[in-house]
Amino acid sequence: MIIGNVAARFPTRRVNNDEIVALVRQHSTRFEGDIDRMLRTVKTLLDRSGVDKRNWRAPGERPIDLLTGAVQDALEGTGVKPMDVDLLVYVGIGGGFREPGNSYMVAKSLGLGRAQCFDIIDACMSWTRALSVVDSLFKSGGYRNALVVNAEFNMIPGMAGFPENYALRDAAELN
């Protein structure tokens, strides 16, 4: 197996640590205890993580558009065209649907008319599991070109964990 290219596209909205702390304050309306102390702890933990900005989707940004752009970037210069892709594997846990698999919707959006499709949902191991499966399928001789893709951009109201992950009830939840 040869990995021909890797590409990524990121949402354009940049959220900093102070904005995260403000979200925790906003959504922790039932907090029991010293909320200001807890927020200082949150800020310290965020600052120590080494990450000072995160990419979240801006209004109107769609995951499929980001994914499509990344796939176009990945195929560029490889000589592989969308119709040459035999196999599409969607990995990740943030998909909107279980049936039909996200891979089918992605293949349709990308114009992959002849690709076999399936999803691998194995949390953080999805990528490595997908590469292992693709390698085995290549060795079987049935496939020549594959895409392994993901589009998880859940940080908008109503998506999994938002805003629930920012609502704390007591300091013990921070642990």
Q: What is the pLDDT of residues 81-101, one digit of tens each?
A: 999 999 999 997 765 566 678
Give the single-character DSSP code of 175: -
For tokens 């210069």, the residue is: 77
Structural domain contains residue 84: yes
pLDDT in tens, 37-80: 999 999 999 999 999 999 988 888 888 899 999 999 999 989 89
pLDDT of residue 145: 94
pLDDT of residue 159: 65
Range of the domain at 68: 63-149
Structural domain contains residue 2: no
Structural domain contains residue 3: no
* β partners of residue 116: 87
- Report the domain count for the chain: 2
Q: Indicate if 69 and 42 belong to the same structural domain.
A: no
Joined together, the tokens standing for residue 91 give 């990995």
Q: Indicate if 128 and 54 belong to the same structural domain.
A: no
Structural domain contains residue 102: yes
Give the single-character DSSP code of 170: S
Q: Indicate if 40 and 53 belong to the same structural domain.
A: yes
Residue 115: CATH number of its domain: 3.40.47.10
**Rounded Cα gap, residues 42 and 54, in angstroms:** 16
pLDDT of 152 > 80? The answer is no
Q: Does the global pTM surpass 0.85? A: no
Joined together, the tokens standing for residue 8 give 């990524």
Q: Indicate if 112 and 46 belong to the same structural domain.
A: no
Angle of the 35-48 helix axis to the 17-27 helix axis, nearest 10: 150
Q: Indicate if 113 and 71 belong to the same structural domain.
A: yes
